[in-house]
Amino acid sequence: MSTFLQQLINGISLGAIYSLIALGYTMVYGVLKLINFAHGDVYMVGAFMGYYLANGLGQRGAQMLGMNPDGVVGRGLLGGGTLEPSLITALVVMLLAMAICAAIGVIIERLAYRPVRKYSRLTALITAIGVSLLLENGGQVVFGAEPKFFPELFRKRNFDLVSGVTINSADVVVLIIALALMIALQLIVYRTKTGRAMRAVSFNLQSAKLMGINTDRIIAFTFALGSALAAAAGVLVAIRIPRIDPLMGILIGLKAFVAAVLGGIGNIPGAMLGGLLIGITETMVVGYLSPTYKDAVAFAILILILLFRPSGLLGTVAQEKV
């Protein structure tokens, strides 16, 4: 029983990450009807931004100050000094990475997606594939192809819950932050004017334009938001599993997309639910069946969902109009 509980906890931790990335997918799809293949790669860029912020700034900063670089992580932004590994450091690094990736998301949208908006969705999809490839291979050139080791942003500890079931403090942090971000997103989308504009654009782009909404800006904002979430996921994952490489976003991006579809694409609580479900299912399959079929799990779920309930678990069934 304790093994089962442990696996459940493992699954929830994994699922939280999928949820975060799925949120970005679902938002962009809801607004633009575009599967942003590059989303998983923004997640990767987020992880690397976190790496350079934490590593480069911290250690080189210390060296420049003539201090001992060991154990030093982030250069102080709150005035002077250097930051020790702690929760605050992790949050700061994460927020900075989020900001950078939000900017990157907006740039990608402006340069690559806006020019093809007037073309068919097929064209937009292929452009997304192109951007994804560019980020991956560009990442290999710029960051270097071999995996890097993400520095420890805060000391991790194990907590024993029930007998034999341990949970790591990193997992707890990931869960809490993921939850907080999701709640924040929900608030933005349903309680603010911009959020209302986003929902309007997702219903009908042309009508929203006619109602005076600056659709370009709303779309840019959506991308920024989604990319920020992906970056957060990237940093959080890197905290849990400290190895990052330029190709880490491909598979996880696809699985997160499956999570979004599972929950109902365009539906925010659906993305959260989908992510958790996929995370748990995957972990259970690995733990109880065979780890080699791990990657097939997400795709199998996708196929089943699209066959039997294409609108997703929490989505509304749309009638096809002529």
**Is residue 37 within 8 Å of residue 131, measured between CB atoms?**
yes
Which of 67, 155, 214, 295 lies at the binding interface for other proteins (CB under 8 A)? 295
Question: Rule CB under 8 A: is residue 110 a binding residue for other proteins?
Answer: no
CB atoms within 10 A of CB 23: 32
**Is residue 174 within 8 Å of residue 239, measured between CB atoms?**
yes
| Amino acid of residue 54 | A
Report the DSSP pairing between strands 166-168 and 243-244.
unpaired
Question: Rule CB under 8 A: is residue 313 a binding residue for other proteins?
Answer: no
Complex with other proteins: residue 190 or 293, whichever CB lies closer: 293
87: Cβ contacts below 8 Å, ≥ 6 apart: 154, 173
Is 117 in a helix, a strand, or coil?
coil
Rg (CA), the chain: 20
Question: Rule CB under 8 A: is residue 302 a binding residue for other proteins?
Answer: yes
Give the dihedral of Cα atoms 91, 157, 176, 226; nearest 10 deg: 50
Question: Rule CB under 8 A: is residue 190 a binding residue for other proteins?
Answer: no
- Residues forming a β-bridge with 148: 244
Site for other proteins in 125-184 (CB under 8 A): 125-127, 129-134, 136-138, 140-141, 145-147, 149, 156, 158, 166, 168
Site for other proteins in 31-50 (CB under 8 A): 33, 35
Kindly state the smallest distance separating residue 46's Cβ from other proteins, in Å: 15
Complex with other proteins: residue 184 or 303, whichever CB lies closer: 303
Which of 23, 42, 174, 258 lies at the binding interface for other proteins (CB under 8 A)? 258
Complex with other proteins: residue 92 or 276, whichever CB lies closer: 276
187: Cβ contacts below 8 Å, ≥ 6 apart: none
Lookup result for tokens 């790591």: 168
Which of 88, 306, 313, 314 lies at the binding interface for other proteins (CB under 8 A)? 306
Select from 140, 233, 153, 152 the least CA-distant residue to 185. 233
Kindly state the smallest distance separating residue 199's Cβ from other proteins, in Å: 18
Size of residue set near other proteins by CB under 8 A: 76
Kindly state the smallest distance separating residue 97's Cβ from other proteins, in Å: 18
Complex with other proteins: residue 112 or 314, whichever CB lies closer: 112
Q: Which stretch binds other proteins (CB under 8 A): 62-70, 77-85, 176-184, 301-309?
A: 301-309
Helices (H) then strands (E): counts for the chain: 12, 4
Which of 56, 71, 81, 115 lies at the binding interface for other proteins (CB under 8 A)? 115
Question: Rule CB under 8 A: is residue 203 a binding residue for other proteins?
Answer: no
